[in-house]
Amino acid sequence: MDAAARISPAALIETLEMTGSAISALWEHSDPEGRSLGVSWAGADPAPLWLDCARDLTEYWTHRQQVRHAVGRPTDHDPRLLAPVLDTFMRALPHTMRAAPAQAATQVQVVVDGPAGGTWAVTCARLGWSLAPDPAGDPAAVVHLDAETAWLLCTRGIEPEAAIGRSRLEGDRQLAEAACQILSIIR
């Protein structure tokens, strides 16, 4: 903010439009299955290009929400953007759970309510936790969050303890609380 204080609003908007168009063109003409830079919070290095692109979307979306909040406006819950943002954020679950001890085949689910929500599951295997393609069976723990709590938790707009207080945890409390440590940004 301080560094840009001397730049006119018109120049800032023009710069954002120029760089936004260039980044959009980059993603549009790239192979989504190609390799890209690592996405550290997801534990993917190298990462598939689609994950790097999705990470980019989450950054723009999150900063937009932070600006909205700074001027007294609520979060934009339009599911056309919030749904892929939440799905991208949940890619951090296996990395988040990496230190959580569990038996092989143990599953933990995170359920986000609302039109942009969904259910994400991670399963413990011999080599660590992985995102399950479809939640199945009887999970050892389930974390129920509303969309606002989910995105704020993933970006540390609220701390895990606050998210736990705003959520409903079922099953193994230790595993559920471990899932609530999710962080989907570089801090």
At residue 85, the pLDDT reads 98
pLDDT digits over 120-129, tens only?
Answer: 999 999 889 9
Question: Is 74 in a helix, a strand, or coil?
Answer: coil
Helix, coil or strand: residue 103: coil
Q: What percent of the chain has pLDDT over 70?
A: 99
pLDDT tens digits for range 77-106: 999 999 999 999 999 999 999 999 999 999
Sheet of strand 168-171, all strands in order from the earlier edge strand to the far edge:
128-131, 118-125, 107-113, 141-146, 168-171
Residue 108, beta-bridge partner list = 122, 141
Q: Hey, what domains does the chain have and what are their CATH numbers?
A: 9-79 (no CATH), 88-179 (3.30.1050.10)
Query: What pLDDT is stored for residue 1 in this prediction?
Result: 59
**b/e 18-39 (16+ beta carbons within 10 angstroms → b):** eeeeeeeeeeeeeeeeeebeeb
User: What's the CA gap between 73 and 143, in Å, rounded?
Assistant: 28
Average pLDDT over residues 20-39: 85
Whole-number pLDDT of residue 126: 86
Instruction: Please provide the average confidence, as pLDDT, over all residues in the chain.
Output: 92
